A and B are shown apart, each in its own frame.
Chain A
Amino acid sequence: MVQYRTQVRIIADVLSTAKDMNTEGNGVGVTTLLRKGNMSYSRMSKLLSELVGSGLLTELNGDKISKYMISEKGTQFLTVYRQFEDFAQSFGLRL
């Protein structure tokens, strides 16, 4: 079933990917985020700069490409998001 995502849901999805896929501890590349996030490159770039600007993601500048890692603030946001997602789901609603 096709389902639209709200902005807050997209942010949570990107942060979750940045957290879960960062197995080696050196960040996650844009390609991985794009694949998991299911959105266009331009939209992802804009979102990533917003998330870095708000301190939810940390940008790690490599030689050629930038990688992204979830920050402490981002982890806190995800925890709170999941708690309220649970709360909304109790009322049969989606965030």
Chain B
Amino acid sequence: MEMISDVLQFIGVFVSFSIAYVAYHGVRRIHSSSLLRLTAAFVFLGFGFAVEGFVGLSQVISNLPFSTMAVVAGLLFETTGYFFLAFSHALDVMMSKRMGVALLIFPVISLSGAQLVDILSTLSFYFVLYGVVETVYSYARTRKPDTLLIAVGLAMISLGTFVQWLSLLYLNVDVLLLLQIIMKEIGLLILFTPVLNFAVGRVRLDGTI
């Protein structure tokens, strides 16, 4: 089961880097800072999934000992990615001079574990949750179906992150490990929709149609 979840991490790598690739072309073409933050978010997420996938696979295939620091590094990349996503929304809130809906969700970080992995998972959960609330708010403003879809995708990722957090508490429940990665992968595949729209709309990244 662990091998399946490790292989699934690489779907996350593909989706994250695809989104980062499209966003980066946007940065190059129109010099948008919002797209730069989106690029940063998905580059970090991609590296996070890659590190977690490689660490998991090296453990399963060759039973190599791996450093706890590698796991922490993977989670740190992932959390940084979610942070950039949340940060983009926070800046958007400040730009529009409105009160962020997600400010109502005050982060209550669990300090009981005192482990870096626990803290990073908790932070990821709050960052994605912030992204969900702001994206839903954005949908209420624009009524764009794609935005609602992305909100659903982010909600799946936040649920996955929550289950990942639970799996740290209930170490003997294997199904939680697989469930969290499946939820995250479904969420990431939903996030892939805007990239597909580029392909379906025959929009080439050099700007021509």
Interface string of B136-150 (1 = CB under 8 A from A): 111100101011011
Instruction: Check A1 for interface membership: any CB of B closer than 8 A.
Output: yes
Chain A positions within 8 Å of B201 at CB level = 83
A8 touches B30 (CB 8 A): yes
Residues of A contacting B: mostly: helix
* Total B residues in contact with A, Cβ cutoff 8 Å: 43
Interface residues on A, range: 20 to 34
Within the complex, which residue of A2, A6, A79, A92 is in contact with B32, where a contact is CB–CB below 8 Å?
A6
B147 touches A89 (CB 8 A): yes
Which residues of B82-129 have CB atoms within 8 Å of chain A's CB atoms? 85, 88-89, 92, 95-98
A89 touches B26 (CB 8 A): no
| Highest count of chain B CB atoms <10 Å: which of A3, A77, A86, A94 | A94
Chain B positions within 8 Å of A61 at CB level = none
A80 touches B30 (CB 8 A): yes
A84-B29, A90-B150, A92-B150 are contacts. A1–B96 as well, Cβ < 8 Å?
yes
Instruction: Please list 14 pairs of residues, one from A and one from B, whose beta carbons are closer than 8 Å in the complex, sorted by A's number.
Output: A4-B97, A6-B95, A8-B33, A77-B30, A81-B30, A87-B22, A88-B35, A89-B142, A90-B147, A90-B149, A92-B131, A94-B92, A95-B30, A95-B34
Chain A positions within 8 Å of B33 at CB level = 6, 8
Q: Please report the C-alpha to C-alpha distance between residue A93 and residue B22 in the assembled complex, in whole angstroms.
A: 15
Chain B positions within 8 Å of A3 at CB level = 95-97
Instruction: Check A76 for interface membership: any CB of B closer than 8 A.
Output: yes
